[in-house]
Amino acid sequence: MFRWKLALWALLLFPLAGRAQTDLNESEVSTSRILFVLDASNSMYGRWEQGTKMEIAQRLMSTMLDSLAQVPNPNFQLALRVYGHQKPVPPQDCNDTKLEVGFSDNNLGRIKQVIRGLRPMGTTPIARSILRADNDFPRDCPTGHCRDIIILITDGVEACDEDPCEASAILQKKGRVLKPFVIGVGLDKDLIKTFDCVGTYYDASDEGTFKKALGVIITQALDNTTGQINLIDENNQPSGTNLPIVLRNATSGLVDRSVIHTMNYNNQPDTLLVDPIVTYEGTVYTIPPRPIRATPMYAGTHNHMAADVVQGKLKLTVPGLKPSQTPPVAVVREKGHSEEILHVQAFNSTVSYIAGTYVLDILTLPRIHQVINLKKGGTQEITIPPAGEVMIQLKSPGFGAIFAMDGSDWIWVTHLDEFQTRQQFSLQPGSYKVIFRPRSAQQTTYSKTHSFTVSPGSSTLVRIP
């Protein structure tokens, strides 16, 4: 007979789970909440090999429940929704769907009892059953992280003029449930394609494949599958680390987790607990950020996600800066994307960026504009001299501006404050001119021009009578 032995479940579940826990914290283990949505419509009375479809489904699901009941320290909960079992057709009742057994611990016997007592009679409201399943999953998770999974078992297609594909998409986009599993029980080959958009489809063309499909799905649902994120460096090695990463469910777009990438004690990317039925995508927060492309996970294997993080370093220095002086900063932009500020880096610091070409605006007086090309694996250093402190002393307040002299060119630096008679500026070494006219003077001829020079780290007093 078709009996799943406990030894088979141990082979499928526990060795792999044990490996997954080697580098994982207990707090990372999630609870799998599996909702069976079982077709008990009139068509399940159809003959299928050695009995009716319903009889075979009842027998195989009962055996599966018996095996799960023997799993020690289970990290799963089950529930059962049934449709088509309350009212006969005709007439058609598209509300014939009901949560028969809700999620709780130690309810496998109750689920088995309900399944044994089912008598097919009604219609097939698949879409409505999927949508109502949203409320079958409790909002609170006992372990803090739950994987909500639907397993739809049906022998027919939607009979209530609704769209199971849209219903499935709604739940996935809300992040409430993972993409459903669908087992087609003796389903006509021409109808199989209608379930491609609903979930991961398994065609149970006979009793043996039904048993196999159910086993594969349960294994994937309960398995602690592992993975790692490889941050690829300039030598095509996964040496990148210590970077913030946000992983998302590629289907719903919702954040699954946020981590700081870590190397383990073997100097390999640390192991994560991943969901074998989720496609992950994400962002590595280098400067600028780099994408982790959509990557499906596979049960029973150690999965790899990757992002290219080929970086170079930018070192900004001001030698001889006095303790009382605040280091200047540089505004960093990607070349060709001048509207977006990537980072503001202070001098006397070193920061890693993705290798490439950048535009720097150094916020000194006068401003310094520079284009740099950071090479992969290299460090580019930009050094500027310490500013000189300049005190401009006026006899009376007025209007004016400071200009840097570059040969015969006058380069505007800043305006004077028209209300202050003593004004202090930190200026880069060089030659300057200041133009000034008192507020009280009503003629242009009262304008005065005064030249001065700034040396690195110096203090200069400029008196304008």
Answer whether 221's CB lies under 8 Å from 68's CB: no
Average pLDDT over residues 169-179: 76
Hey, what long-range contacts does 318-321 have (CB within 8 A, 24 or more apart)? 318/347, 318/348, 318/383, 318/384, 318/385, 318/386, 319/383, 319/385, 319/386, 320/385, 320/386, 320/456, 320/457, 321/347, 321/348, 321/386
Q: Is the pLDDT of residue 324 over 70?
A: yes
> Tokens 């700081």 — which residue?
260
Whether residues 36 and 178 fall in one domain: yes
Minimal CA–CA distance to 270: which of 246, 245, 241? 241
- Biggest distance spanned by C-alpha atoms of the chain: 112
Confidence at 176, pLDDT banded by 50, 70, 90: low
pLDDT at 281: 97
Same domain, 424 and 448: yes
Query: Is residue 285 domain-shared with residue 196, that is, in the same domain?
Result: no
Question: Has residue 436 been placed in a domain?
Answer: yes
Mean pLDDT of the region 101-112 = 94
Point out the domain boundary residue: 280, 308, 336.
308
- Does a structural domain hold residue 180? yes
Confidence class of residue 224 from pLDDT cuts 50, 70 and 90? low
What is the Cα–Cα distance from 390 to 395, expressed in whole angstroms? 16
326 with 456, same domain: the answer is no
43 and 96: one domain? Answer: yes
Q: pLDDT category, 16, cuts 50, 70, 90?
A: very low
What sign results for the dihedral spanned by CA atoms 264, 11, 277, 305?
positive
The verdict on 80 and 200 lying in the same domain is: yes
pLDDT band, residue 274 (cuts 50/70/90): confident
Element (H, E) at 303: strand 302-308
User: Is there a domain that residue 285 lies in?
Assistant: yes
In this structure, is residue 233 part of a structural domain?
yes
Give the domain-ending residue among 288, 308, 328: 308
* Least reliable range by pLDDT among 19-33, 161-175, 324-338, 442-456: 19-33
Q: Are 240 and 359 contained in the same domain?
A: no
Look at 401 and 168; give whichever has higher pLDDT.
Answer: 401
Residue 231 lies in a domain: yes
The beta-carbon contacts of 70-75 under 8 Å, at least 24 apart in sequence, are: 70/6, 70/9, 71/9, 71/13, 71/222, 75/29, 75/30, 75/31, 75/32, 75/143, 75/222
Check whether residue 356 and residue 210 sit in a common domain: no
Give percent of the chain with pLDDT exceeding 90: 60
Does some domain include residue 145?
Answer: yes
CATH at residue 324: 2.60.40.1120
* Mean of the per-residue pLDDT values of the chain: 87
* Paired sense of beta strands 459-464 and 388-394, if any: parallel
Q: Is residue 1 domain-resident?
A: no
Last residue within a domain, chosen from 222, 254, 287:
222
- In one-letter notation, the amino acid at residue 142 is P
What pLDDT digit, counting tens, does each position of 54-92 carry? 999 998 899 889 888 888 778 889 999 999 999 999 999
- pLDDT confidence tier of residue 10, bands split at 50, 70 and 90: very low
Which comes out higher in pLDDT, residue 169 or 285? Answer: 285
Shared domain for 283 and 343, answered yes or no, is: no
Structural domain boundaries enclosing 396: 388-464
Return left, alpha or beta for 213; rule: phi > 0 is left, psi -120 to 50 is alpha, else beta: alpha
Q: Which one-letter DSSP state was computed for residue 362?
A: E
pTM: 0.67
Does residue 431 sit within a domain?
yes
Instruction: Name the pLDDT band for 9 (thresholds 50, 70, 90).
Output: very low
Residues paired with residue 332 on neighbouring β-strands, in sequence order: 343, 360
**Are residues 46 and 148 part of one domain?**
yes
CA distances (Å), origin 229, targets 83, 125, 221, 246, 292: 42, 41, 22, 11, 9
Cα–Cα dist 155/188, whole Å: 8
Is pLDDT at 270 greater than 50 in this prediction?
A: yes
Tokens of 367: 């401003």
Indicate the number of domains in the chain. 4
pLDDT value at residue 13 = 34
Domain check: are 46 and 180 in the same one?
yes
Same domain membership, residue 57 and residue 104: yes
From the list 304, 300, 301, 302, the residue with the least C-alpha distance to 292 is: 304
